[in-house]
Structure formats: structure tokens, C-alpha cells
């Protein structure tokens, strides 16, 4: 079972609707496919997204991206990838223990 969603609000904590994020793409193993208005983690065996992708746009600020990294780190994401279409570059973070750590950036070739 794998659930893949794009731009879907993810609520990691019940009763706290201000804590939310809408990744460009999130992948959750162990959760069945299906239509959802949002991803309420407590209704899905408390399984957080394991993989998250964000695609940079000109409106994204460094502060915003730092907040996203902190959110994904705090809420158990295992892999977090950021694609910069202007630079054709992919950067990523992998969980080791309690934290996400940056891996080497890659320029993509076509």
C-alpha cells in the first residue's frame, strides 16, 4: 500500500489545525490509496509521510524553506527533496537518528 498526494494539507496532530503543511508531493507507505480532503495523520495509524518533495518557485523564500525543513524534521519525514527548476538542481535530506541531514546536491542532466 502506498498513498501519493500533491498539494494536500497534512495535519500531523489531532486538535491542532494550525500545525499543517501542504508538500508539493508526499509519499506514505502503509496507507491505502484513496480520495482525501486532507491527510490527518492520527486517522492513518499515525503514519507520517516518509518522502516529501518540494519544487521551488520564484516566490519561495529561504525563510519559508527553512520552516518547511524544521516542520518535516519535527514530524518524522524520512527523506525530503527540493528541486530547483531554475538551476536544474536537486538537493535532499535524509533522516539519521532524530534529525534530517543534508546530502550532496546534484545537478540534473537531460
The pLDDT tens digits of the residues spanning 18-47 come to: 999 999 999 999 999 999 999 999 999 999
- Checking if the pLDDT of 110 tops 70, the result is no
Q: In this predicted structure, what is the pLDDT of residue 63?
A: 97
Q: In this predicted structure, what is the pLDDT of residue 109?
A: 72
5's CB contacts (< 8 A; 6+ apart) are 25, 26, 28, 36, 39
Set out the domains of the chain in order of their start, with CATH numbers: 2-107 (3.90.1570.10)
| Cα–Cα dist 45/57, whole Å | 33
Global confidence as pTM: 0.92
SS3 43: helix
| Cα–Cα dist 85/75, whole Å | 26
b/e map 28-52, b = 16+ CB within 10 Å: beebeeeeeeebbbeebeeebbbbb
The pLDDT tens digits of the residues spanning 52-108 come to: 999 999 999 999 999 999 999 999 999 999 999 999 999 999 999 999 999 987 777
Judge contact between 42 and 22, C-beta under 8 A: no
Amino acid at each position: 500500500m502506498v498513498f501519493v498526494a500533491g498539494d494536500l494539507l497534512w495535519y500531523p496532530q489531532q486538535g491542532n489545525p494550525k500545525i499543517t503543511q501542504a508538500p508539493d508531493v508526499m509519499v506514505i507507505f502503509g496507507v491505502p490509496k484513496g480520495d482525501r480532503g486532507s491527510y490527518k495523520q492520527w486517522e492513518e495509524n499515525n503514519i507520517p509521510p516518509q518522502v516529501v518533495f518540494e519544487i521551488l518557485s520564484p516566490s519561495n523564500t529561504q525563510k519559508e524553506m527553512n520552516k518547511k525543513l524544521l516542520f518535516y524534521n519535527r514530524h518524522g519525514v524520512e527523506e525530503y527533496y527540493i528541486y530547483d527548476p531554475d538551476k536544474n538542481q536537486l538537493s535532499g535530506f535524509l533522516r539519521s537518528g532524530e534529525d534530517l541531514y543534508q546530502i550532496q546536491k546534484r545537478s540534473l542532466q537531460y
